Amino acid sequence: MPANHNEIEKRLWDAADELRANSKLKSSEYSVLVPGLIFLRYADHKFNQAEHEFVGARLASPTRRTVGKTDHRARGVPAET
């Protein structure tokens, strides 16, 4: 993680420059794309965090069942019917 705001700002500007250089998007179209990318990054982080917790619990108890799709469902959210 960057140590200060200047590093974060530089990384964000570099990423924006890279995105703009390698796409045919107009600057006004980024408002549609960027929030989706931020959400995907957040979802990926949460998925990896939950997977790490489940794998750690499985290693602690080797008789536990394997990790499945329903294990990654948000805690407290009822299953779809």
Q: What is the pLDDT of residue 15?
A: 83
Q: How many residues does the chain have?
A: 81
d(CA 52, CA 71) in angstroms, rounded, equals 12
Whole-model pTM above 0.85?
Answer: no
For the chain, 81 residues long, the average pLDDT of each consecutive 10-residue run is 75 83 80 84 88 72 66 63 52
CA-to-CA dists, residue 63 to 15, 49, 57, 66, angstroms: 45, 22, 11, 9
> Looking at residue 3, what DSSP letter applies?
S
Q: What is the pLDDT of residue 79?
A: 61
d(CA 27, CA 50) in angstroms, rounded, equals 35
Contacts (Cβ under 8 Å, ≥6 apart) of 18:
none
